[in-house]
Chains A and B, each alone.
Chain A
Amino acid sequence: MLERVLQLLVSWTRPFRGDRTTAVAFGLLLSALLFALVFPAFSPFAPDATDAEVFSPPSPRHPLGSDLHGRDLLVRIAVATRISILVGAAGAAVSLGIGVGWGLVAGYFGGKVDAWMMRIVDLLYALPSVVLVLLVLNFFESAVASRLQRVFPDSPDQARLILLVLCLGGISWLTMARIVRGQVLSLKERPFILASRALGAGAGRILFLHLLPNLSGIILVYLTLTVPAVMLQESFLSVLGLGIRPPQASLGTLIADGASQLNPVRMRLWLLVFPAGALAGILWALGRVGDALREAFEPRDRDV
């Protein structure tokens, strides 16, 4: 058991050696993270400082240009990346925790358990998520805000962001559960699972040592689909007035704002291209790293 875990841990690093693309992707992710966390402290501009130099195209002063309020886009992308990563990570964590667990249990035990668990998923799918988000914000925002203010009296109000991240996580795991469960239904009838069951392995052992590694590929792939979907969902909620508070921004909201540049009259494309490029870069790198991780997780001995 321990040996197995160690083996896995060692194999984790394998993808980052050797393959150049993966190394680039990994480097990109790390530098994006670093940029988001550190850059705003060194930038000459505050992310919400307005300025007379509005709609400046990329220039030495504003390397990525500035917006309607004269705010520097580079530093705004940096702080937006933080929020987007936070939102994406929350979605991923909940998908992994609840979604995968739910799918594993439903698929493995099958029968009545499966039927009821999946009907609950069906039910949750159909409940309108905007209503839930609005209700959560409405009932809890001021309470959370005042509690936060007591603990961190000087920090800006983050209550909405916290609640939003929770809500987005809460609605992002359903499809993951369905996909995992579909795979488990097929996997659990395969010889290697049947064999270990016949050898008296417990459900926990089978689930986590045999099924989970075989699912790692599809889980990682679906995670790379969930993360962007959650980020975009966040920008959609912001457009509806249920998202983060301006002047805070996420990559999704920057892109949504930039979408209005796609018009036949006057395009200030830097407002769209740079945030979209940042998001695409991060997602590509995530996908690449996910792929490499998948190679690492891939069981080598399934059909032995």
Chain B
Amino acid sequence: MSPGGDIRKTPEPVPGVFFLSTPSPAPARFRVAFLLLVLGLLHVACGPRQRADLVVHNGPEPETIDPQILTGQADGRVAGALFEGLTRFNPLDGRAIPGLAETWEISPDGRRYRFRLRQGLAWSTGETITAEDFVWSWRRAVMPATAADYSAQFFHLENGEAIVTGQEKDVTRLGVGALDSSTLEVRLVNPAPFFLELAASRIFAPIPRHLVERLGDQWIRAEPLSCSGPYQLMQWRVNDRFRLRRNPRYWDSASVATERIDLLSGDNAGTALNLFLRGDVDLIIDRKIIPGELGPDLAERADFHRFDFLGCDFIRFNTGRKPFDDPRVRKAFALALDRPAMTRRITRLGERPTGAITPRGAGGYEPPEGLGLDVAQARLLLGEAGYPEGRGFPRVEYTYNVGTRLYEQVGIEIQAQLLAHLGVRIQLRPLEWKTYLTEMSRQSYDFIRGSWIGDYNDPLTFLDCFLADSGNNRTGWRQPRYDALLRSAGSAADPASRLALLRQAEVLLVEEEVPVTGLYSYVGLCAYRPDRLEGFHANLIDEHPLWSLRRLPPR
């Protein structure tokens, strides 16, 4: 007879309740100490909190908000509220309008800009902002020692490329100068029609010299921080929020619509959605933190808004590795993909399927169509390349990064389509982000997911990537003809012939040689209730200045 049997049979009146009052044999003083500890920590961990006048979900925690160092979109939104350059973005269409510069003249050859700064410009801490501040800041940005990843934006300035690449050590030779304390002259290499938009981007904003000289690289942590933009920084808590307050010394402070703004940081899309639906967030500004799978359902609602923007997903083929060293195989793959089916079934936000790289609308450019679905032609090419009906085709992998499930879903669709159309069974190879980047830049892949977001409103920001010596090429494809076309487009004085040359280059890229083939161009998605927020407008470069946003009282 086991002792357990005894217990089981005995009907016991042991109440569960008594345990609840003494959950463990810990003496009472431990419990008191535990309670005090929790309360104490609670006090440290939480602070009293008041809802700001406007709460914006900004996406992932920024790496940095230093305008010269930052690269991320979320980073740029914070910095864009704190710092302003010669021009700023028009909230309506994302084009450049006067910022710290009031007026400018452009020389007839399009290579010399003369900016006139506004009178009485000052940092939020009171120091004046002069043309010399611009010169000093831009010189600092191009110095390799500053290690600014985006300093390539200065390649359009005279000697910019030479300084960034270390061939020219004298930064004073950069094509910028102060004619007097409120006149700035900029000298460009080529007549870049997009320069005014470029001048509105973060890295062209002046930074407070007095702080940099005192604190070095970590000047951005100064309290108080000297800001030139519509807002100043009140609080920065990692993975929580930035609290911003209107900058009364901003030149256009009167038209800053909202006094206090909270920019929340977080990367869970479902959570952002919940906060928005509860009314705790007024605006979700980042495409990536709106759950993609709900896209079609959300897009039908009045409080979600779709807009085109300058970004695309595409495929890179490794032209240095069999079987994709053969252009016929690359073309066959590009012709075997049914992109409309992909956007209809998988991405489902109304993305534009395209075999090209440049999205439509970039700087008035009309991109080529690229290769579309043509199964017969695809099989023919594959047969010519020595794999009739896909027979004998080597094992190839499609590599993609995990992060959002969309990339996996697109991979599964590519796998299914290639099997159906070419009889080729490919493998999928998911990698975490950094491994994916490493494999891509080492060209250790067969074909791989690629994506690009334009830095400014012009096809060049996409086509630049595939120059033979571009660090963004990563396909092993070198085509002197392509490089020559881009070069002659650069020096073309007439905008129409410039765009025609760029288009020729893109045709070569996506229809003839096909080291890359486009899948679809992006659709942006943001969330706000039109009856509760004003001043937000969709635009192609996804720039939404905070100064124009205002929360409306409930009607």
A-side residues, CB < 8 A to B, are 48-50, 54, 68-69, 134, 138, 149, 156-157, 239-242, 245-247, 257, 260, 262-266, 298, 300, 303
Contact = CB atoms under 8 A, between A and B. Distances in A.
Given A54-B345, A157-B427, A265-B297, A240 B273 contact: no
B274 A298 contact: no
B294 A265 contact: yes
A298 B432 contact: no
B273 A245 contact: no
A241 B411 CA distance: 13
A303 B3 CA distance: 10
Interface in B199-225: none
A270 to B, nearest CB: 15
24 contacts: A50-B412, A68-B293, A68-B346, A68-B409, A69-B409, A134-B432, A134-B435, A241-B402, A241-B432, A242-B432, A245-B427, A245-B429, A245-B430, A246-B428, A247-B415, A260-B270, A260-B291, A260-B293, A263-B291, A263-B294, A264-B274, A265-B297, A298-B4, A300-B2
Interface string B409-435: 101110110000000000111111101
Contact of A138 (B401, B412, B415, B435): B435
Interface string B1-30: 011100000000000000000000000000
Main secondary structure, interface of B, reads helix
Contacts of B395: 149
Given A69-B409, A247-B428, 11 more contacts: A50-B413, A68-B346, A68-B409, A69-B416, A241-B430, A245-B428, A246-B408, A246-B428, A260-B405, A265-B297, A265-B298
A157 B431 CA distance: 15
Nearest to A261: B293
B293 A241 contact: no
Contact of B273 (A48, A149, A264, A303): A264
B441 to A, nearest CB: 16
B238 interface: no
A149 B427 CA distance: 13
B401 A298 contact: no
Contacts of B432: 134, 240-242
Contacts of A303: 3
A197 B433 CA distance: 57
Contacts of B436: 241
A255 to B, nearest CB: 14
A241 B401 contact: yes
B430 A263 contact: no
Contacts of A263: 270, 273-274, 291, 294
B412 A246 contact: yes
A125 B409 CA distance: 35
A156 B427 contact: yes
Contact of B294 (A68, A239, A247, A266): A266
Contacts of B403: 241
A54 B428 CA distance: 21
B273 A265 contact: yes
A54 B273 CA distance: 24
B427 A240 contact: no
B92 interface: no
Contacts of B412: 48, 50, 69, 246-247
A76 to B, nearest CB: 12
A240 B401 CA distance: 9
Contacts of B413: 50, 69
B277 interface: yes
Nearest to A248: B428
Given A246-B411, A263-B291, A50 B297 contact: no
Interface in B393-407: 395, 401-403, 405
Contacts of B3: 303
Contacts of A264: 273-274, 277
A227 to B, nearest CB: 25
